[in-house]
Amino acid sequence: AMSQVARVVVFGSGFVGSAIAAKLAERAEVTVLDIPTHPALARRDDEAAALVAAAVEGAAAVVNTSGRLRGTDEEMVDANVAWPEWLAEQIESTGVRFVHLGSAAEYGDPGSADPVAVTAAVDPRGIYGESKWAGTQAVLEAREAGLDAVVVRGFNLVGPNLAPVSP
């Protein structure tokens, strides 16, 4: 019997999203959806909900790498808080695993060069860290309500095609 290939949906095609999609493509069927190529997603309307539902049907996981590094406070909250909260709501009844990309900026200044434990106190500084932390909280609240979800906080992400504005 032929084994079934896992399907994964990656939201976001920036530096992190494209690297994750490329790595996953070595062992899974990957669909990448991003707001620039699917403007309906930005509206988070019925068309967007249908797009998400069709994409995640039968998928093993959804990886959310969508977000903003810079922008107005409103743009940052929309991209880093409202978006993952809406996406979690869209997939909560599908049984698919939700992997959300948080940020080391959620910890703020650790106060030393020592490694930061995942259990370290969260103390974000500035709109980027604050909005990423609020997005993490939204995903963790969805997990408490039953969504199979995890948040991954990236540290020191480097590689080819790194944006000059990267933290």
Structural contact between residues 78 and 67, judged by C-beta atoms closer than 8 angstroms: no
Tell me the pLDDT band of 4, cut-offs 50, 70 and 90.
low
Gap between the Cα atoms of 167 and 153, Å rounded: 14
Burial group, residue 152, by CB count within 10 angstroms (0-12, 13-18, 19+): middle
- Mean pLDDT (the chain, rounded): 91
- How far from the centroid of its chain's Cα atoms is residue 92's Cα? 15
Gap between the Cα atoms of 128 and 148, Å rounded: 25
Q: Which pair of tokens denotes residue 160?
A: 């080819």
User: 39-62, pLDDT tens digit by residue?
Assistant: 999 999 999 999 999 999 999 999
70 φ, ψ to 5°? -145, 160
Res. 132: pLDDT tops 60? yes
User: 99-127, pLDDT tens digit by residue?
Assistant: 999 999 999 988 888 888 888 899 999 99
Gap between the Cα atoms of 74 and 2, Å rounded: 49
User: 68-86, pLDDT tens digit by residue?
Assistant: 999 999 999 999 999 999 9
Angle at 10 between CA 5 and CA 12, to 5 degrees: 160
pTM assigned to the model:
0.90
